[in-house]
Structure 1
Amino acid sequence: MKNWISNPSSKQTSTVVIMLILATSGVLLYDAAHQDFPAEGVSHPSQAAAADGWVVALDTNESGELSAVIIDVESGDTFVKVTGTNIDGNQSQWGLANAPTEVLISENHAVVWQGHIIKTIRFDNPLAEMDSRLTEPLYEDVILLDSDEHHANLFTLLDGEIYSLKTIDEEHEKVPEITDSDVELLDGQGNTLAWVTGSSPLTANLMVLDDVHKSISVTVNATSSQPMDDEVEVLTGAKVDYANATITGISFDENHLIAEVNLSAVTRLVLVDLESGDQRIIGDPLFPVSNPSVSNGLVAWQHQQFLTSLEPTPVTLDWDVAYHVISQNQTYPLHVEDDLNQTEPQVMKNHIVWLQDSGGEDPPEVRIYALEETIEQYSSRTLQVAIILLIPLLTLWMIQKQRERLVETISLTRIESEVE
């Protein structure tokens, strides 16, 4: 041991070099496999929304008061706004005991909607006082579209009809171009509304709200093969019900629409190319899926992969999140395998955001996944140290090798001389 330290051989030096390379590779591999990180400034999140580089999370303090934590993902800047609402949704003064709370987001605004209260945040001035609106009707749904104006561009669903909320001071007015009176699902993105009616539960209707209102309708097909449907029945004890299939969730951008279709025994995701009309099922058609989000050529969703409903296990009962690269037709996991619930994924330009349960008494986290591979500071420092150490070690190894070859040559020459 003493000789190894005082007079190391090239073999011992090469062992050190290999160990250094393996250790550095391990750190970099771990970093590459853990591209997600928790959102800063959020301690007890109940919900989050993400779009165009912004994340808005609803955070709860010990008294149950809700704050909106506004995060600029690229810069890391964080702003906090007290919403004046409570997590229990108590609006008993208007006859509403437990109003659900939802956060909506668009290019320039975010909205906190709770029962009869709608509060608006402007991203151009996150610390400005929130616009507040008290609505007399209790809307079934509220949708936020992009707007360059001071006020948010809001649309609502009430008694099967779609209304516009133009300004804080004006009452809602029906969207005249939409004549459907049995709307059951409403969504929106950019400057486009999307809806599904009870009379056509497998048709997604889209209307672009430009100067000239353009609209299209897409009927989705969630049919899989008979062997697949038979396997679903084995796993769940129920038949795939195409006759009563219904779209229960939609997400879309300029190029694609993703529909979540409820088939009683299972839910499936259907991806539609809005230009060509081509459709395909993504994800595994055997297992439950939910909460799809599509943007910038990617689709993210939550699923219960390998769940056998008749014999569930803790590992398969938890929700996991994955994403799909449309151009590659390939699906990838967003996190390492665990027994935690990951839900509500949302695709941004360079990131994907979701909620992750702690698995215990600790509060959940808002997780942010970087789509572009990044090297954490500890990995960067490890790499720098490794390079600094490798240069002298490799130099020492070459000197040792030369010296050992010289010694070996001299020894051979001496032996040959003695033999002669």
Structure 2
Amino acid sequence: MDGVYLTWLISALAVGVFLMPYFKPPWAKLTLTGFVDFIRRYWLHLLIALVIYNAKDWLDQIDRMLMARTGLDMTPYIYAIEGDLVVLFQDAFRAAWLDVFMTHFYIAGFMFITYASIFYVTYFDDRWMADRVALCVAWVYLLAIPFYLFFNVRVTGFYIEDMDAIAYTLNPEIEDWFRRIDAFTNCMPSLHIAVPFAIWLTFRKHDHDGRWNRFQNMTLGYIILTAFAIIYLGIHWFVDIIGGMILATFAVNLMEKTNDPVWKFFDERTINSRLATLLTRPAHSASLLFGRIKNYAKTWLKPTSKETGTFIVVIMILTAAVITWDLTHNELPAEGVQSAQGAVASEGWLATMDNQSGEAIVLIHDVADPLSNPTTVAQPLMQFDSPYALFENYLVMANDSQLRVIDVDTPNAVLLQQDVTGIQSLQMTSLQGRPVVLYIANDALHAVNIEGQDVQVPTLPNSETIHLMSVSGIEILLVSEEQPDTLRIGTIGTSGSLNIIMNASTTEEQNLELEEWGQTVDDNNASIEQVSFDSQHIAVRMNVSALDRMVIYDRSTGEQWLGFDPIYPVGNLSMGYGYVVWEAKDHYNPLSFTDKYGDWEIHQLHLATNYSEQLTSDTIDQVNPIALEGGLAYIEVEDDGEVTINVLTRGTELATYSSIVLQWSVLLLIALTFIYIMQRQDEVRSTNIIHDNALESE
């Protein structure tokens, strides 16, 4: 657990205990035994709070993947309403001391108000308020779920150029903590407003004798200060505050309607007796349970609007769950692959190197239909580390002694075959509309066209040894062993090149953190290990001894920056179609290893907006991502060693089963909504008739 988080948590708990004498009811007494008794009396109330706290992290993980895969983003509409109003607000009050104070207040204050509101009423045994406060907080979180999953609004500090995300960037430790627990897309509605506002409304309405007046007034003051903080810190929009208040109002109304039936069943006093009965008289308990189920089932034989409304809500929840599952699990395994060892892609085609009973077999897949059977090709005898590359519909392969090019549309026909030894790397592109193969052999760069004729390529000065290359269009990037931090940009058909020195250094503070983990950083001897680029950007993976870092270079401005947190390792990367995709071990700490952060996960960066998002989240490795048009492909390694290659498509297109569920749900909801409206009218009419008859009898 992070040091800063422990500081916030302990501070919130300490302040809550310290202020108990001030906020307690006038006649109440403080005793040490009370700290034990309240847990025994209200363990279920406390459990509800704990479940909500843990469920928030789980929902944030789902939201991250849903946002990254579908692109559901309502922020432009919010910005169209507010414009730069939050920027003017932040600039008007900006001060260094306020940055620090408001950041700590934002976290520790919310911890205090959430736990103290339940802690005080349970410690002083006010069950009337404890039931209502715990339930209204639960309803706030439940009502927020659909907004957080399907109405994503980004934080202001990461959306508006002139707005600073003060809280998220106050220092590296806080920044890392926020990155781990916050999706940065859950602005609407603001729970920092909704939760305390619901608590305040509950106390205001149900504290009949005024015993909690001091706490109620303090909560109102907290809400006002929090509203200031969430705007000032570059987190929320003004409309998020309105959304939080409206959500809180609905939560309190639902609490009032559900309070009696919920606590009739979940009251700790009756639950304890029911558990005792279950353990001592199981047959009697089973008989009672069966009887209640039977009686409840009878109500569905003659349903009222209550049962119909329940059925409508259940259908909506189940439908939303199916759609959410589909949109967060929309990757499809490429068919026919036994154990993928690598992959390349281009223009709707995917080529995988598959381990089939110990043989290295190249398979061709149609990205648009990954479930279709793959095609084998007229390949030479290859090893698992043999190079191969795709360009449009051309596949080039090489073994120890031969280079071969085929057209994937006619996979058994060889277009070019040459005897070449010592090929270390392969790429393919086109020059004047004709395919060109580029390869590094014996530490030298060569190129031939589809007719087997040599093509001029850039050369490195001073006979430097080529370490790696990357090709895009007619441009080629080269890295030499003598200058491993320098990119040489050249053009196929010419001999000259330009130099770009890449920089993977970061702050001394972050380097010291790595050294505390036993990882020595050597920025001065950084070396480029992988390059991917297009006409606008260059993505580079650089080794700095301790780990590999990703650097992004803007070719139009000459600006370069670290594309991922520099204290966590980056693996293979790929650029294409406006995205950079890469594998990384986010939040990986070798001194406190956990499965959750110890595996490789796939991330993406949208270059136009500079938004980075995590696409996978589990405890198994996803590696070797490849950018595709409208998505990406990657290799997944299960715990049992099974290896598959998955194709993930971005967007909101649903699978067949989800579409069928959605269609049937719509039809059912039309009928049920009609029935519900008719039932409500009949019930109101019956009530009015009874009321009128009673008046006439008087």
Q: CA deviation at 1:69?
A: 2.1
Matched-pair contact (CA < 8 Å) for 2:395–2:407: yes
| Aligned partner of 1:57 among 342, 352, 362 | 352
Equivalent residue for 2:548, pick from 252, 257, 267:
267
Question: Given the two structures, how large is their TM-score scaled by the length of structure 1?
Answer: 0.88
The aligned residue for residue 93 of structure 1 is none
Counterpart pick for 1:146 among 421, 430, 439: 430
Runs of 4+ in 1 over 6 A off after TM superposition: none
- Render the CA deviation track for 1:10-31: whole Å, top value 9, x for unaligned: 1110000001101101111111
Contact 1:68–1:83 at 8 Å: present in 2 too? Answer: no
| Structure 2: distance between partners of 1:122 and 1:370 | 25
In the alignment, what sits opposite 1:316? 597
Q: Which has the higher helix share?
A: 2
Would you say the 8 A contact 2:600–2:621 is kept in 1? yes
Which segments of 5 or more consecutive residues in structure 2 lack a partner in the other structure?
1-295
Mapping for residues 196-215 of structure 1, pairs under 5 Å: 196-209=479-492, 215=497
User: Relative CO higher for 1 or 2, CA cutoff 8 Å, sep ≥ 6?
Assistant: 1
Q: 2:662 and 2:458 mapped to 1: Cα distance? A: 62
- 2:566 corresponds, among 261, 281, 285, to 285
Shift in Å, 1:341: 1.3
State the identity %. 23
- Residue 652 of structure 2 is matched in structure 1 by 373
Residue in 2 that maps onto 1:119? 404
Cα distance, 1:256–1:249 mapped onto 2, change above 3 Å = same
- Local SS of the residue matching 2:306: helix
How far did residue 275 of structure 1 move?
1.3
CA RMSD of aligned residues (A): 2.4
Conserved 8 A contact 2:351-2:364: yes
Q: 2:469 aligns with which of 154, 179, 186?
A: 186
8 Å Cα contact 1:66/1:85 also seen in 2: no
Q: Equivalent of 1:32, from 323, 327, 331?
A: 327
Deviation at 1:308, TM superposition (A): 2.3
Q: 1:200 to 1:141 in 2, by over 3 A?
A: same
* Unmatched runs of 5 consecutive residues or more in structure 1: 90-98
Aligned counterpart, 2:530: 249
> Contact 1:70–1:78 (CA<8 Å) still a contact in 2?
no
CA contact (8 A) 1:79 1:126 kept: no
Q: Deviations over 1:142-162 (max 9, x none)?
A: 222236767x41122234321
Contact 1:66 1:84 in 2 (8 A): no
Q: How far apart are the structure 2 equivalents of 1:82 and 1:105?
A: 13
- Please give the residue correspondences for 1:19-418 in structure 2 after superposition, counting only pairs within 5 Å: 19-62=314-357, 64-74=358-368, 78-85=373-380, 89=383, 100-123=385-408, 125-131=409-415, 133-146=417-430, 152-167=435-450, 169=452, 175=457, 178-179=460-461, 180-209=463-492, 215-235=497-517, 237-335=518-616, 337-362=617-642, 364-418=643-697
Decide whether the 8 Å contact of 1:162 with 1:174 is kept in 2.
no
CA contact (8 A) 2:582 2:624 kept: yes
Instruction: Indicate conservation of the 8 Å contact 2:514/2:520, yes or no.
Output: yes
CA-to-aligned-CA distance 1:11-66 (integer Å, 9 cap, x gap): 1100000011011011111112123221123233222111222111123333x333
Maintained 8 Å contact 1:248/1:261 = yes
Q: Give the secondary-structure state (helix, strand or coil) at the position aligned to 2:565.
A: coil
The change in CA–CA distance for 1:356 and 1:2 in structure 2 (over 3 A counts) is closer
| Aligned-partner Cα distance in 2 for 1:327–1:165 | 35
Q: Once the two structures are superposed, what CA deviation does each residue of 1:267-317 show, in whole Å capped at 9, x if it has no partner?
A: 111100111111110111101112111112211111122222345444433
Evaluate the alpha carbon distance shift between residue 20 and residue 167 of structure 1 in structure 2; reply closer, same or farther with a 3 A threshold. closer
Cα distance per residue 1:343-392 (max 9 Å; x no partner): 11111221211111122143x11111112222111110010000010011
Give SS of 1:49's match.
Answer: strand
Q: After the TM superposition, which of the residue ranges 160-169 and 25-34 deviates more from structure 2?
A: 160-169
Q: Which whole-Å CA distance do the structure 1 matches of 2:614 and 2:603 have between them?
A: 4
Counterpart amino acid of residue 662 in structure 2: L
Q: Normalising to structure 2: TM-score of the pair?
A: 0.54
State how far apart, in whole Å, the 2-side matches of 1:75 and 1:343 are. 21
- 8 Å contact 2:346–2:390 — kept in the other structure? yes
